[in-house]
Amino acid sequence: MLLQGLIAQVGIHKIPIIIADGGSTDGTRKIIQHYSSYKVLDITLIDGGTPSEGRNKGLELVKTDGVLFLDADIKFWKDDTLLRSWELLNDGYGLVSCKLKGYDRDWKINFGFWVWNWVHKALIKWYPFAVGGFFMTRTQHFAALGGWDERVDNSGDFLASQYFRPDEFKVLHHPVGQDGRRIRKIGWWGMVSHLIKNFWKFHQEGKSWFYKKSRYWG
């Protein structure tokens, strides 16, 4: 779904894609072999690890001025999402992200994403928060800032977003679709309470809070 969505994106030519495989068992490598035949894609497969480890390994290989980190379950609702995001980056923003929209038919899942977008908007003036599922920034600048902190147990996307001031951050109006597995796991109220707790603990303890083992990933 993600690779098919990238093929459909307009205004983007020969997209270089680095896929960090953290030991998936869902036929990822066979899927990649299939899509490698598409001339609009330039796919490199690397061994991943944790999300932060995989992203940093990929970051080391990026040769383009801008870099976009995507989760494998992302779905594009608009075929100009990448183009519009790149335009915002060229307008002077340092970090660009999107709103989230579930592609499940479960109203509880969709309500959970609606709550997330509301919380996101409410906090944006104080805490930039580009979700790891769609995190676009300048390659060399982000690498110089430190990239992804591999010591964190969860919310690495939130911490990486704190490199940027609120006025450097922009949320594209286009939403991107994401699977609701995390909301199913802990419930939408559990998700909201998890986010609020992390914001509060970050304010009290700083980054060290995120180095503690959580139950977020099971």
Flag whether pLDDT at 216 surpasses 70.
Answer: no
∠ CA 58-60-62, rounded to 5°: 75
- The alpha-helical segments, DSSP class H, found in 129-174 are 139-145, 156-161
The owner of tokens 């990822």 is: 28
Which of these, 166, 102, 91, lies nearest to 130 by C-alpha position?
166
What are 11-52's pLDDT values in tens digits?
Answer: 877 788 999 987 776 667 777 777 777 677 788 889 888 889
What are 125-171's pLDDT values in tens digits?
Answer: 888 999 999 999 999 999 999 999 999 878 899 999 999 999 999 99
- The pLDDT assigned to 22 comes to 74
Query: Percent of the chain beyond pLDDT 90?
Result: 44
- What number of other Cβ atoms are within 10 A of residue 112's Cβ? 25
